[in-house]
Each structure stands twice: as C-alpha cells, then as structure tokens.
Amino acid sequence: MNVSVIGTGYVGLVTGASFAFLGHRVCCYDVDLAKIEALQKSIIPFYEPYLEILVDEQVKKKQLFFSCSLDEFFAQSDIVFIAVGTPTDPQSGAVDMTYLKKAALEIGKNMQPHRYYVVVNKSTVPVGTHQLVEELIKESLQVSGTKDVAFAVASNPEFLREGNAIEDVFYPDRIVVGTYCPKALALLEELYRPLIEQSFTLPSFCPQRPQNLGRVPFVKVHPLSSELIKYASNAFLATKITFINEIANLCDLFGANIDEVSLGMGLDQRIGPSFLKAGLGWGGSCFGKDLKGLIHDGKKMGYAAELLQKSLQNNYSQRSRAIYKLQQALKTLRGRRIGLLGLAFKAQTDDLRDAPALDLIEKLMESDCTVKVFDPVAMENLKRLRPQWPLVYAIDEYDLAEGCDGLILVTEWKRFHGVDWQKIHSLMKNPLLIDGRNFLDRQRLEAFGFVYSGIGR
C-alpha cells in the first residue's frame, strides 16, 4: 500500500520507517524543512535506538521518502496518518489543536478526485477529534472544489515509549482502531496484518520478539472509545507510578524497602509488576500533557477528575523529594556544588520534555547552588533549550563528581552502573548520593563510604 505520514517527529518517523520495513511504500511529510533535509540524508534529529539504521535501510531501498509538501505521492496514497504534535495550551490547559487542524485542512486540499483515502489519527487527540477531522477535510474539499473524493477517518492511537520505540511498534500489546467505515477497517487490518500475525523478522541488531507473543489483538472499537483508550492508558500508567511513589515516601518513614514492596505487590496478577518502579517522578512529552488534556476536557463537560488532578500534582511534588533529601543531609544548600547524573526524562532518549531534571536544576539554582550536569546524550538539547542557565557541563561522570557536595542520579543510564564509584567518591568534596531512580547498589556504594539515599529504600 502507499502510506503517507503527516508529521515526522518521534511517532511519525517510527511509524513511517516501520511500515516501510513491512513492505509498504511510505512518504513522511513535515513542515520543518531542516528536519526533512536531514532525514533525506538519513540523519535522525533525535536519539532513538535502532531507528537510524532502519531509516537508512528503507531510504536506500526506496521504500521510504521524505518531503516538505504534499505531492504526487500523497495524492496516490491509500492511507494517510496524522502524527503531528498536540501540545498543551499553556494558558487554558486544553489540547492545542493548531497543528492537527492545519494538517486536516492540508489533507483535504490535496486529495484527488476519484480516489478513496483512509485518514488515520495517530496523534493523541481529545475525544471526538475524528469528527473534527472529517468536518475540516470536507470544508477543505469544498473550498478547493474537488469532487468525487471518498474518504473515511479512523482513530488509531500510538502506545510506543521513547527509547523502546522499535520494540513497542513491532511487538505491540494491542492495536486499537476506531472507525465507522468497514472498508477503512478492512484496509487498516490489511496494513497491520504482519504485526497482527507477527509474520516478519527484524534484523538481528534490532530487539527480538518477546517469547510467547502470539497473535496481537486487533481491537476494533467505536472511534470515541479508541480516542479515550489512549488517554485512559496514559492516565492509568502515570497514576500507577504516582501511587508507588507515595508508598515509597511512606517506606522512607517506616524504614521499609520499596523494591521489596513493589516485588511483593507486583506478583499479584491483578496488579502486575510493570510501572511499579519508584523514583523522583515521571516526566516526558506525554503523561503530563495527556493528564492535563483529559482533566481539562472532563471539566468542560462539568466533571472534576479529582483523582487525575491529584495524580498530576503529586508527581510534581515528588520531584522535590531529591531536594528535600539533600537539605536533610547538608542542612543548607546555599553555596553548595551539586551534580546531576542524567538529564533526560528516562534512559535511552535525549528528550527533555517535562524532564524532572529541569525542575531540579531550577530549584537548586534558586537555592544558590552551583549546578553541574552530565548526560551521555541530552546535554546538547539542554544547552539549546536553556542557553541562559549558568550550568557547568561535565565531560563525564568523574568530571561531574569533582568538588561536589552531593550527586543526584536523575536518569537510569546503564553506563552509571559501570563507573568507578571508588574514584567518584575520592573526587567528591562530600560523598552524598541521592539515587532518584533507585538504580544503584546501595550496599556497594556504602562500602565505598558514600552516604546513600534512594526513594523509599
């Protein structure tokens, strides 16, 4: 099939490259000319394991193309994915639909007569957006005077995690589709067949299929339900983490160990072990944005989603636990030199959207600390995002540790396990380590002489 993808960010690029790998011809479009020019040379504008090689392969095979304007290929597409950003409007807390509306109008403007298109919302969008997209396309067709175009709109939310994108897209837990049109549903089922049946083999350098993954459920639902499934999933996962973080804070007071508590809870099949890792709070481009969007839209309908509001608030106060622990140990923060091990909102990405590190840095600077930072991939992003911040950018973990009164581990990069902790200890002015991700071996660090504090252990 010919597939067009509008918006070539994390979701659009991974979607495009994956469908190209599965044998479809794909063109990814973006309004950002610099991004498209880089992608045409297989330069990926963000860090995502395995993606560059996958893109490069498909570009060389001429299965994957990039373009800045909807062209001839678009006109001949069978399926058009919308994967543009849906950020939070900072004023109202509503979902900012500017990009999505523009994309829908642009799609309508470029549709050709005597063709049938399936327009698929892959962006995370407010419940009811499939209707809006349909109306905007019709409006656009009317303006351009194009007749005899048939199209259907479908909702097909994306559940990939950054840093695990390839694995999540090729081995999904489920594929959710909501549409009124049986023809659109049949085409999407055909498009997704290799994923549903798991009838493909990824190159050996890519993550391999998890054992016992049988046929992937293709969940056909009402488009309103499909749109809400995405929000509800993120709200649930975010709240599950917020819940375990609260239990971790109680562990700190009771002297219990959160890792043991999570283990014991997670073995209950009704609870499950995932997303029970306590720490200094979740971040990233989705959880906060989607919780805010759902809370806002509930309010618009006259419903106060109090649990979700609390979940959101508690997550932001959880980030200050690391500062509280520093204060407890150092008494005063003024004039202290504090190092952050990791900046990205999670490992395997350079994404700093809503990253806890940003809040921590601000709070430390407000307390008159000198802040040193180190992250294996996210430092350039921070320099670009906050050029005015007077930070000390370290070249590695040892450079970071030198002269520090305390270190906070913010991101669980695997390489932090492998550093010479004895050397780090000898370089620090005061060997205080706040493990914001409960990632390191407490006993080992204490044996080197560190004062160690995790979150709930």
Ligand X SMILES: O=c1ccn([C@@H]2O[C@H](COP(=O)(O)OP(=O)(O)O[C@H]3O[C@H](CO)[C@@H](O)[C@H](O)[C@H]3O)[C@@H](O)[C@H]2O)c(=O)[nH]1
Ligand Y SMILES: NC(=O)c1ccc[n+]([C@@H]2O[C@H](COP(=O)([O-])OP(=O)(O)OC[C@H]3O[C@@H](n4cnc5c(N)ncnc54)[C@H](O)[C@@H]3O)[C@@H](O)[C@H]2O)c1
Query: What is the spatial distance between Cα 310 and Cα 267, in angstroms, rounded to a whole number?
Result: 27
Query: What is the spatial distance between Cα 76 and Cα 74, in angstroms, rounded to a whole number?
Result: 5
* Residue 349 marked as a ligand binder: no
Residues 30-49 that bind ligand Y (CB under 6 A): 30-32, 35
Cα of first residue to Cα of last residue in the chain, in angstroms, is: 53
Angle at 448 between CA 444 and CA 453, to 5 degrees: 65
Using a 10 angstrom Cβ sphere, with 0-12 exposed, 13-18 middle and 19 or more buried, the burial of residue 69 is exposed
C-beta closer to ligand Y: residue 289 or 319: 289
Residue from the set 276, 360, 377, 401 that interacts with ligand X by CB under 6 A = 276
Taking the CA of residue 310 as centre, how many other CA atoms within 13 Å lie in the half-sphere pointing to its CB? 7
What is residue 305's three-state secondary structure? coil
C-beta closer to ligand Y: residue 176 or 432: 176
Query: What is the spatial distance between Cα 152 and Cα 395, in angstroms, rounded to a whole number?
Result: 52
* Residue 220 marked as a ligand binder: no
| Piece of the chain touching ligand Y by CB under 6 A; list 98-106, 170-178, 212-220, 381-389 | 98-106
> Number of residues in contact with ligand X, rule: CB under 6 A?
20
Torsion of CA 265, 441, 285, 40, to 10 degrees: -130
Token pair, residue 307, equals: 């649990």
C-beta closer to ligand Y: residue 83 or 400: 83
SS3 content of the chain, % helix, strand, coil (to 5): 45, 15, 40
Query: What is the spatial distance between Cα 398 and Cα 58, in angstroms, rounded to a whole number?
Result: 40
* Residue 272 marked as a ligand binder: no
Residue from the set 134, 162, 359, 375 that interacts with ligand X by CB under 6 A = 162
Residue from the set 26, 237, 258, 333 that interacts with ligand X by CB under 6 A = 237
C-beta closer to ligand X: residue 345 or 413: 345
| Piece of the chain touching ligand Y by CB under 6 A; list 49-57, 78-86, 322-330, 420-428 | 78-86
Provide the edge-to-edge strand list for the sheet that holds 218-221: 64-67, 25-29, 2-6, 79-82, 115-121, 149-155, 175-178, 218-221
Residue from the set 3, 9, 342, 359 that interacts with ligand Y by CB under 6 A = 9
Strand partners, 81: 5, 120
Q: Does 277 bind ligand X (CB under 6 A)?
A: yes
Reported residue count of the chain is 457
When CB distances are held under 5 to 8 angstroms depending on the partner's kind, the choice from ligand Y, ligand X, none that residue 22 binds is: none
Query: What is the spatial distance between Cα 229 and Cα 389, in angstroms, rounded to a whole number?
Result: 39
Q: Does 103 bind ligand Y (CB under 6 A)?
A: yes
Taking the complex as a whole, the smallest distance from the CB of residue 447 to ligand Y amounts, in Å, to 39
Q: Does 71 bind ligand Y (CB under 6 A)?
A: no
Helix 129-144 and helix 223-254, axial crossing angle in degrees, nearest 10: 140
Binding mask 213-252 for ligand Y (x = CB under 6 A): ----------------------------------------
- Residue found by looking up tokens 């809870």 in the block: 265
Catalytic residue list contains 369: no
Q: Does 350 bind ligand Y (CB under 6 A)?
A: no
Given the residues 27, 28, 251, 286, the one annotated as active site = 286
Q: Does 275 bind ligand X (CB under 6 A)?
A: yes
Specify whether the CB–CB gap between 457 and 258 falls below 8 A: yes
DSSP-derived secondary structure letter, 95: B
Q: Does 277 bind ligand Y (CB under 6 A)?
A: no
Q: Does 151 bind ligand Y (CB under 6 A)?
A: no
| Piece of the chain touching ligand Y by CB under 6 A; list 81-89, 145-153, 402-410, 433-441 | 81-89
When CB distances are held under 5 to 8 angstroms depending on the partner's kind, the choice from ligand X, ligand Y, none that residue 237 binds is: ligand X
* Residue 81 marked as a ligand binder: no
Q: Which residue is nearest to ligand Y (CB)?
A: 9
- Residue found by looking up tokens 């720490």 in the block: 279
Residue 218: which H helix or E strand, with range? Answer: strand 218-221
Residues 110-149 that bind ligand Y (CB under 6 A): 123-124
| Piece of the chain touching ligand Y by CB under 6 A; list 9-17, 302-310, 321-329, 377-385 | 9-17
Binding region for NAD(+) = 30, 35, 86, 124, 162, 289, 353
The binding site for substrate comprises: 159-162, 230, 275-279, 283, 346
Which residues form the interface with ligand X (CB under 6 A)? 124, 158-162, 234, 237, 241, 275-277, 279, 282-284, 286-287, 345-346
Residue numbers annotated as active site = 286
